[in-house]
């Protein structure tokens, strides 16, 4: 039996040394004592505020295609899901999303999509260049999956600053169980390395509670993140999608996700860490709880409302009926109730 005061000491050690042994991490991650959790999250908030004050950064998410050549077992827009209603946004439509977003105070645009062969390097370079030209003061983030290094280089040269590519799990065998045989753990890792070498600010991350995930896998994720040193970590709970083989699996735990947000903040004080839409989907106060646990980024949707409900990676996603303006109004109110404040800023990493 572990004495509680040990865990408080471990938290202090994590805050000052930014690291623990595997066994110590496990003790923190397994503990669901509310008093301890409130201590852990207070430490994480303190650390966040040292670097970012009360600021919360917003990223305008433009989900520009739900076509995907991949078949990830967990994902609602996987290739073989014949029930998914597919769409693509044109360059004009994407620019119009940016326009709306800019007016609402967004200074980062995130172009996210499935791995869609329609968006060749040339087409993506055109889109990125157009955004870069029109919004020189904004950051452009891409989240369009695995490509070859030359392709990433072209996108970077066209003006993209950041790239999100979750590693999904740092355990090769677990990766193999979440993905079909034609997807490669090694290639995904290579992509992350390439992105880093090119000079992107890079985000990796994982789902919490994905089928087959153990606490040992999560420790491996932490060790991988420690080695890779990403600028951003995207981490949300797994949520089943009814058209996938995981339809009847359990969703990930909100509480464990929150504990992990705090642990990540204490390990990497300057990391840009979103409170994800998936967290807000499982718990109506999930995003606020995420901010209170150490997150400092929100990624509301700028996609046109008529395509929103088609970008469904998981069931019951929130905000599919709201216009961008409504979401930002709603979020400003929600955030201000936490004592934090949404700012109009590119939100680059501190320090
Ligand atoms: N539940 C939660 N997150 C999911 N993602 C994909 N499918 C799901 C799901 N069912 C996450 C993956 C991907 C990111 C864009 O969304 O981690 O990298
Ligand atoms: Fe979209 Fe609240 S954030 S409606």
Total domains present in the chain: 1
CA of 267 to the centre of ligand 2 (A): 30
Which protein residue's CA is at the shortest distance from atom 2 of ligand 1?
238
Sign of CA dihedral 221, 213, 1, 33: positive
Q: For position 3, what pLDDT does the model report?
A: 59
Rounded distance between C-alpha atoms, residue 251 and residue 254, angstroms = 9
Rounded distance between C-alpha atoms, residue 279 and residue 89, angstroms = 26
Token match 């999904």: residue?
Answer: 168
Q: For position 5, what pLDDT does the model report?
A: 75
Q: Is the pLDDT of residue 19 over 90?
A: yes
Enumerate the β-bridge partners of residue 56. Answer: 342
Nearest to 295 by CA among 307, 281, 308, 277: 277
Kindly give, in sequence order, each residue whose CB lies less than 8 Å from that of residue 231, ignoring residues fewer than 6 positions away: 162, 201, 202, 203, 271, 272, 349
Q: Is the pLDDT of residue 230 over 60?
A: yes
How much is the average pLDDT of 250-278?
98
Token match 């709603």: residue?
Answer: 330
Which domain does 292 fall in, by range? Answer: 35-343
Q: Torsion angle of alpha carbons 136, 67, 148, 231, nearest 10°?
A: 50
Domain presence at residue 7: no
How much is the average pLDDT of 140-150?
98
Domain presence at residue 351: no
Domain presence at residue 20: no
What percent of the chain lies above the pLDDT cut of 90? 98
- Arithmetic mean of pLDDT over the chain: 97
Split at pLDDT 50, 70, 90, the class of 2 is: low
Q: Is the pLDDT of residue 15 over 70?
A: yes
Domain presence at residue 334: yes
Domain presence at residue 230: yes
Indicate the angle between helix axes 121-134 and 149-157, nearest 10 degrees.
20
What ligand 2 atom has the least distance to the C-alpha of 301?
A: 1
Q: Is the pLDDT of residue 4 over 70?
A: no
Domain presence at residue 4: no
Query: Among 64, 66, 72, 75, which is best to mutate for testing ligand 1, by the most ligand atoms less than 8 A from CB?
Result: 75
Domain presence at residue 266: yes
**Residue count (the chain):** 351
How much is the average pLDDT of 214-241?
98
pLDDT digits (tens, 9 = 90+) for 93-110: 999 999 999 999 999 999
Domain presence at residue 11: no
How much is the average pLDDT of 48-70?
98
Hey, what long-range contacts does 68-72 have (CB within 8 A, 24 or more apart)?
68/113, 68/114, 68/115, 68/116, 69/114, 69/115, 69/116, 69/117, 70/114, 70/115, 70/145, 70/179, 70/180, 70/183, 71/179, 71/180, 71/182, 71/183, 72/178, 72/179, 72/180, 72/183
pLDDT digits (tens, 9 = 90+) for 199-224: 999 999 999 999 999 999 999 999 99
pTM value > 0.95: yes
CA of 306 to the centre of ligand 1 (A): 21
Q: Which CATH number characterizes residue 42's domain?
A: 3.20.20.70
């Amino acid at each position: 039996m572990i004495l509680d005061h040990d865990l408080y000491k471990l938290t202090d050690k994590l805050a000052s040394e930014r690291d623990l042994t595997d066994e110590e991490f496990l003790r923190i991650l397994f503990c669901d004592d509310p008093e301890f959790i409130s201590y852990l999250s207070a430490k994480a908030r303190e650390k966040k505020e040292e670097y970012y004050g009360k600021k919360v950064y917003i990223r305008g998410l433009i989900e520009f295609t739900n076509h995907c050549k991949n078949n990830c077992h967990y994902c609602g827009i996987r290739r073989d899901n014949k029930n998914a209603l597919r769409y693509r946004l044109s360059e004009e439509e994407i620019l119009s999303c940016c326009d709306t977003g800019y007016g609402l105070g967004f200074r980062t645009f995130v172009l996210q999509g499935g791995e869609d062969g329609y968006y060749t390097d040339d087409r993506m370079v055109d889109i990125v260049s157009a955004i870069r030209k029109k919004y020189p003061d904004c950051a452009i983030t891409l989240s369009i999956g695995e490509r070859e290094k030359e392709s990433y280089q072209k996108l970077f040269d066209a003006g993209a600053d950041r790239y999100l590519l979750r590693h999904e799990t740092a355990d090769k065998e677990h990766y193999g169980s979440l993905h079909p045989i034609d997807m490669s753990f090694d290639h995904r890792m290579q992509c992350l390395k390439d992105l880093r070498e090119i000079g992107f600010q890079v985000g990796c991350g994982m789902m919490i509670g994905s089928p087959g995930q153990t606490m040992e896998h999560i420790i491996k994720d932490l060790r991988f993140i420690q080695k890779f040193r990403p600028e951003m970590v995207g981490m949300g709970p797994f949520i089943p999608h009814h058209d996938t083989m995981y339809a009847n699996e359990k969703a990930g735990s909100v509480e464990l996700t929150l504990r992990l947000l705090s642990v990540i903040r204490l390990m990497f004080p300057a990391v840009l860490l979103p409170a994800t839409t998936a967290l807000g989907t499982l718990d109506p106060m999930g995003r606020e709880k995420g901010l209170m646990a150490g997150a400092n980024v929100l990624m509301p949707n700028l996609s046109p409302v008529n395509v929103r409900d088609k970008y469904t990676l998981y069931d019951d996603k929130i905000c599919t009926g709201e216009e961008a303006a409504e979401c930002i109004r709603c979020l400003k109110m929600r955030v201000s109730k936490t004592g934090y404040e949404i700012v109009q800023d590119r939100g680059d990493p501190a320090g």
